[in-house]
Amino acid sequence: MVYLDYAASTPVSEEALHVFQQLSKDCYGNASSLHDAGGRANDILTYSRQSLATILEGEPDGIYFTSGGTESNILAIQSIMNGLPAHKQHVITTSVEHPSVHHALDALHRLGVKVTIIEPNQNGIITEDILKKALLPETGLVSIQHANSETGIIQPLAQLAPLLKERQILFHTDAVQTFGKIRVSIKELGVDAMSISSHKVYAPKGAGAVYMAAHVPWRPLYTGAVQENGLRPGTVNVPCIGAFVAASEQMMLKLDEQHQLDEQLRDYFLQQLKKRQLPVRALQDNNKRRMLPHIIGCFFEGFEGQYVMLACNRYGICISTGSACASGYHHPSPAVKALHVSDRDALQFIRISFGRLSSKDDIDQLLHTFENLQKEKKGA
């Protein structure tokens, strides 16, 4: 099998698997228990908070562990809005966010919170002017993703942050796609809250984290919860969290090396598209936007994206048509539509994403499959 869907999920690394197995065997106590077994589990959590805080350039007390990126987004947004005063009940987000962000805001809207959804420009970017026009005196929170999971477009958060800080508006970002892939710093980005997830960084599914700075006035959704300082209920999954942190540490050690590999594979893929004269147009053809090197969004002229994805699957190749959390819905993706393309073009969208085990041979097999699709069409 050729796996080119790393933006959806990654295989578990040997380092993370080893840590998960060892903690499951040797550190099985409940971290809330007062006996020694509980103390050992709590020590792992303490170390994990410190390690993640160091990677994010934040404070350990700001790390709250969750079950993954979706829960991180929902808890961050709803808990922050719960903690803001009545005169700050307006939240702004974008049309291209992960579905979990829109789910969280739909729930808040039903409770009376005012929600504004802004559109990026034709390059997929939220500019200062776009954001500024949406700000109101009652705006309390802005949530903008660090990078889009379907297109790989990176938002200029550090440029937007001063605009919000001077107005005392809190800033949250979904950094699930960027954490472990590029440098992600709370300080440099200027955000107050951030969501990350384990299964994008070669750790088991089932862990994630929210970072919320000490000045963020959040209130929990669940009354009576004692775990994670009251942010969420339920016994903390120490083995999975330990594996998540171990994988994150490994990602940081190999960050530059992997980034270079991703760029090489991306450039090779784009060069081969032209060399083989395939009717595939990549978003990377536009140099007016900054993009993650491991995600390539393409439009395959003459084929619907779902057909290409299923055809590739028949050849043993895994790609996608966009966010795995929105799969099964046959309609143009909001993230792709935001690039000012037609519905027809948007439905021709496919996403290829590289990872640690990807190679030029994988790319060649994918391109060969594209060529076969072209031949089949011409022969029809």
- Same-domain pairing of 117 and 197: yes
Q: What whole-number distance in Å separates Cα of residue 239 and Cα of residue 206?
A: 10
Query: Does residue 237 share a domain with residue 197?
Result: yes
**pLDDT value of position 39:** 75
How much is the pLDDT for 376?
82
CA dist 119 and 330 (Å) reads 22
Please give the average per-residue pLDDT across 295-323, as a whole number.
Answer: 92
Retrieve residue 237's tokens. 């999954």
How many separate helices (H) and strands (E) can be counted in the chain? 13, 12
CATH number where 303 lies: 3.90.1150.10
Neighbouring CB atoms inside 10 A of 122's CB total 13
Same domain, 241 and 293: no
User: What's the pLDDT at 29?
Assistant: 77
The pLDDT value given to residue 197: 98
Residues 246 and 273 in one domain: no
Q: 240-275: per-residue pLDDT in tens?
A: 999 999 999 999 999 999 999 999 999 999 999 999
User: How many domains does the chain contain in total?
Assistant: 2
Residue 303 belongs to a domain:
yes
Question: Same domain for 234 and 263?
Answer: no
The 8-class DSSP code of residue 16 comes to H
Cβ 324 vs Cβ 177: under 8 Å: no
Q: What is the tens place of the pLDDT at every residue in 153-205?
A: 999 999 999 999 999 999 999 999 999 999 999 999 999 999 999 999 999 99
Note whether 42 and 76 are same-domain residues.
yes
Residue 378 lies in a domain: no
Q: What is the mean pLDDT of the chain?
A: 93
pLDDT at position 325: 54
* 92 lies in some domain: yes
Collapsed DSSP state (helix, strand, coil) of residue 225: coil
Q: In whole angstroms, what is the distance from residue 260 CA to residue 244 CA? A: 23
Quick one: the chain helix, strand, coil %, rounded to 5?
A: 45, 15, 40
Give the CATH number, domain containing residue 213: 3.40.640.10
CA dist., res. 354 & res. 339, Å (int): 23
| pLDDT band of 379, cuts 50, 70, 90 | low
CA gap 2, 316 in Å, rounded: 6
Q: Based on the domain organization, do 204 and 117 belong to the same domain? A: yes
Residues 273 and 141 in one domain: no
Q: How confident is the model at residue 324 (pLDDT cuts 50, 70, 90)?
A: low
Please check whether residue 63 lies inside any domain of the structure: yes
- When pLDDT is cut at 50, 70 and 90, the band that residue 333 belongs to is confident
Average pLDDT of the segment spanning 318-328: 69
- Please report which confidence band the pLDDT of residue 330 belongs to, taking 50, 70 and 90 as the band edges: low
Distance from C-alpha of 131 to C-alpha of 255, rounded to nearest angstrom: 31
Which helix (H) or strand (E) covers residue 1, if one does? none
* DSSP codes of every residue in 273-289: HHHTT-SEEEGGG-TTS
For residue 379, tell me if it sits in a domain: no
Q: What does the block give as tokens for 152?
A: 């790989």
* Mean pLDDT within 371-380: 80
What residues are annotated to the active site?
325
* Strand ranges of the sheet holding 280-282, from the earlier edge strand across to the other edge: 280-282, 295-300, 349-353
Residue at which a domain ends, from 189, 218, 253: 253
210 and 263 in a common domain: no
> What tokens does 244 get?
């998540």
Q: What is the mean pLDDT of residues 221-235?
A: 86
pLDDT of residue 137 exceeding 90: yes
Residue where one domain finishes, among candidates 253, 282, 310: 253
221: Cβ–Cβ under 8 A, 6 or more apart, which residues? 75, 78, 79, 82, 232
Give the pLDDT score at 41.
84
| 376 domain-assigned | no
Strand ranges, E, within 56-207:
63-66, 90-94, 114-118, 139-143, 170-174, 193-197
- Give the helix/strand (H/E) hosting 174: strand 170-174
Say if 342 falls within a structural domain. yes
Say if 375 falls within a structural domain: no
The answer to whether residues 235 and 295 belong to one domain is no
Q: What is the pLDDT of residues 25-76, one digit of tens each?
A: 988 877 777 787 677 888 999 999 999 999 999 999 999 999 999 999 999 9
Average pLDDT of span 80-100 = 97
* Same-domain pairing of 294 and 247: no
Domain limits for position 39: 14-253
Q: What is the mean pLDDT of residues 104-127?
A: 96
One domain, residues 58 and 173: yes
pLDDT at 223: 83
Residue where a domain stops, chosen among 230, 253, 276: 253
Q: How far apart are CA 115 and CA 136, in angstroms?
A: 11
